[in-house]
Structure 1
């Protein structure tokens, strides 16, 4: 069951026509991924105005350093919630992909909406932590669902397309911030976040479980999928995958979380006033998302041409250079707004490395433990990411600048490049049964 069949690396041209179930299931998963990206960036975009209002209501002064510190604490708690989402994996391996995906979306929708009602930072922290549990589960559930429901000759590009949903959410969040956020405030941003969740939930209600899953689960008597990913055959790859995801999480999240704040500071330095800096941060987020969507789409052909490991190393290298140039160089220029905005595109492109895991992880595990492996490896790094995020917030607080602390996260990608050779190459492998 754990072995995969070696096949010639198939061309990426379309061969098998998708049926209605596969199309509906994909768009429901894509919409869920979109809302995940939208929610994550909403917090980054509303960080400053939300903290300015909630900190005094919590008995804390709303100074720039306190905004950075407590904003980082709340984001770290969000990552803890995301880390706890590994619990969805065994649920999906036992009860089904589409059902579990619906539950993750429901959890996300409820607590994202409640975030808009927070009266102090402690209530917001609770709601964001619980929303993180739903959001984190959605990635692994959606990735597993699409991998198993799409035909083999379209599965690989399906993984790349799926990941674009997350970064399309960046673009939507930027548009909402430019319009609704600027006009109605940060609370309205969380209220709007429930809309795509409800749409996705409604579509999934009519989607059946993937045939690959139903066939295997009927034959499986020992339902302990979490322990199965640590058997001698899978222990090493589970550890390596977890480390690589941790690297991706540390680097990308630091950049995406602080990007709007960095742009607001740079825009203010140029003399922009009123809503102009907020609008500029929306433009920056849109640029970041466009770059990442392109990175996701181009990653799959590259991974098919040179292999999963080499392709991931290329993307990690792009992240190293772009993080250093944006936060370590452009941020400190007298007129750094323009070069910072340009480099954001490449930072986004490198962030497309997350699409690799939607493609790569399902290829490394059989059906009876695939969701558990996906959920565990994509979630466990959130705990480390939470610690690093807190450290970055503390450094920003102590140093009085966010550029250098964020630039230091490039070190994580250097470590990732050193880890990649130990990973399992699956180019040319079909999805294990």
Structure 2
């Protein structure tokens, strides 16, 4: 009898070890992803020698789009690596990419140096989120899988909190990126302690020699789930990157160029802390209310909290911290429920690739949208109006959820 059967309901020491390894990978993922958004005004201002909001918006959107294009490609390509070569190899490749190139970002001499490093960092960031979610979904006992994955996604939000803390104590942007290289140490620990997913190994043995991964991915029986997953998560991405990621730059507009770093860092810390709570509750809500109702509630909350934050503040006050926390909570809830839901839709042989596709197909439109944030900021007269425009994408995700398949109480597809 395999370990898949004997540990179907019991959480063992190895399960805990797997969870810790995946959680640390996700935490460093969130940290390295967020460092750029927190130091964006100072990094871009230093490299282009201007702190004008329209200049920061223009070059910041170029760097942000490069990162998102990398994230998109990494999520799909490293997902394919995970289905072909194994979950552990894809995790190690992802962490190596994002750790090394986050560190090299600190050596940038021009904005395009920074954009290139962020593109390569994005490859690893996108791949890691796919890898850890797929691996934990296949290893963790069925009965508590949703809760475990929801708590796992707190790792990314904890990384947001860590990023804000790093910037608070190390305000120089180059130092911040050098610190971001530390996760490379985790790759050694993963290699020494974790073993390959048994579900993946069994599925690999059953594959025909002429098996075509992409042909299976887009087979008729999977198209509806792919479309719903891509549209729903794409809505989160557009709203997230055009609103939450631009909050530090928006806050900076309330201060002189040499001030505001503490307020930016504190807002990021509040966002990250609240998002951890949202992620933690996602699996519990999904098991009680169902996956689809939880998706609808979380996305509707994202839209409403965005409206309160961006449309009711014309000067800085401490209320912005609470409103940022509310938005962070619903984004954490929305993010975690999608990571719970997507692996439950697809069989093992295409799971990582399918999850990678759903998480990143919408990232192309996000990268294009973020590319034009600088133009839209100028056209609409500020970050708040621009962010609110893109927050409307949350409503498209709510609409897509009505066509989603409920997976509550169903086993993970073989």
- Determine the C-alpha separation between the residues in 2 that align with 1:312 and 1:197: 34
In structure 2, which of residues 213, 238, 262 is the aligned counterpart of residue 279 of structure 1? 262
The answer to whether the Cα contact below 8 Å between 1:24 and 1:204 also exists between their aligned partners in 2 is no
In structure 2, which of residues 62, 78, 90 is the aligned counterpart of residue 100 of structure 1? 90
Which residue of structure 2 lines up, in the alignment, with residue 7 of structure 1? none
Which residue of structure 1 lines up, in the alignment, with residue 227 of structure 2? 239
In structure 1, which of residues 5, 9, 18 is the aligned counterpart of residue 12 of structure 2? 18
In structure 1, which of residues 362, 386, 408 is the aligned counterpart of residue 367 of structure 2? 386
Which residue of structure 1 lines up, in the alignment, with residue 102 of structure 2? 112
- Determine the C-alpha separation between the residues in 1 that align with 2:306 and 2:327: 7
Which residue of structure 2 lines up, in the alignment, with residue 28 of structure 1? 21
Which residue of structure 2 lines up, in the alignment, with residue 48 of structure 1? 41
| RMSD, aligned α-carbons | 1.7
Which residue of structure 1 lines up, in the alignment, with residue 320 of structure 2? 340
- Determine the C-alpha separation between the residues in 2 that align with 1:343 and 1:177: 21
- Determine the C-alpha separation between the residues in 2 that align with 1:299 and 1:198: 30
- Determine the C-alpha separation between the residues in 1 that align with 2:165 and 2:112: 28
The answer to whether the Cα contact below 8 Å between 2:295 and 2:338 also exists between their aligned partners in 1 is no
Which residue of structure 2 lines up, in the alignment, with residue 152 of structure 1? 142
- Name whichever of 23-32 and 313-322 sits farther off: 23-32
Which residue of structure 2 lines up, in the alignment, with residue 314 of structure 1? 297
For structure 1, which runs of at least 5 residues remain unmatched after alignment? 1-13
- Determine the C-alpha separation between the residues in 2 that align with 1:186 and 1:429: 47
1:365-405 deviations in whole A, cap 9, x for unaligned? Answer: 11111011011111111111011112222111334411100
- Determine the C-alpha separation between the residues in 2 that align with 1:53 and 1:44: 15
Against the structure 1 CA distance between its residues 132 and 226, is the aligned structure 2 distance closer, same or farther, given a 3 Å change threshold? Answer: same
In structure 2, which of residues 164, 183, 187 is the aligned counterpart of residue 174 of structure 1? 164
- Determine the C-alpha separation between the residues in 1 that align with 2:188 and 2:87: 13
- Determine the C-alpha separation between the residues in 2 that align with 1:88 and 1:385: 20
- Determine the C-alpha separation between the residues in 1 that align with 2:112 and 2:391: 31
TM superposition shift of 1:287: 0.7
Which residue of structure 2 lines up, in the alignment, with residue 83 of structure 1? 72
Which residue of structure 2 lines up, in the alignment, with residue 127 of structure 1? 117
TM superposition shift of 1:322: 0.7
Secondary structure of the corresponding residue to residue 183 of structure 2: helix
Secondary structure of the corresponding residue to residue 295 of structure 1: helix
1:210-255 deviations in whole A, cap 9, x for unaligned? Answer: 1111111111124422321210100111111111111010111222
The answer to whether the Cα contact below 8 Å between 1:107 and 1:134 also exists between their aligned partners in 2 is yes
The answer to whether the Cα contact below 8 Å between 1:34 and 1:166 also exists between their aligned partners in 2 is yes
- Counterparts of 1:227-376 in structure 2, within 5 Å, are 227-266=215-254, 268=255, 277-330=260-313, 332=314, 334=315, 336-352=316-332, 353-376=334-357
The answer to whether the Cα contact below 8 Å between 1:65 and 1:400 also exists between their aligned partners in 2 is no
TM superposition shift of 1:100: 0.9
1:249-300 deviations in whole A, cap 9, x for unaligned? Answer: 011122221111222333x28xxx955x211211111110111111111111
Which residue of structure 2 lines up, in the alignment, with residue 68 of structure 1? 57
TM superposition shift of 1:113: 1.0
- Determine the C-alpha separation between the residues in 1 that align with 2:352 and 2:191: 18
The answer to whether the Cα contact below 8 Å between 1:28 and 1:204 also exists between their aligned partners in 2 is no
TM superposition shift of 1:62: 4.6
- Determine the C-alpha separation between the residues in 2 that align with 1:108 and 1:145: 19
The answer to whether the Cα contact below 8 Å between 1:79 and 1:132 also exists between their aligned partners in 2 is yes
Secondary structure of the corresponding residue to residue 408 of structure 1: helix
- Name whichever of 138-147 and 396-405 sits farther off: 396-405
- Determine the C-alpha separation between the residues in 1 that align with 2:107 and 2:70: 19
Against the structure 1 CA distance between its residues 337 and 262, is the aligned structure 2 distance closer, same or farther, given a 3 Å change threshold? Answer: farther
- Determine the C-alpha separation between the residues in 1 that align with 2:323 and 2:309: 6
Q: Aligned residue pairs: how many? A: 404
Secondary structure of the corresponding residue to residue 396 of structure 1: helix
How does the TM-score come out when normalised to structure 1?
0.90
- Determine the C-alpha separation between the residues in 1 that align with 2:137 and 2:403: 24
- Determine the C-alpha separation between the residues in 2 that align with 1:205 and 1:326: 45
How does the TM-score come out when normalised to structure 2?
0.94
The answer to whether the Cα contact below 8 Å between 1:82 and 1:132 also exists between their aligned partners in 2 is yes
Against the structure 1 CA distance between its residues 357 and 407, is the aligned structure 2 distance closer, same or farther, given a 3 Å change threshold? Answer: same
In structure 2, which of residues 183, 198, 201 is the aligned counterpart of residue 196 of structure 1? 183
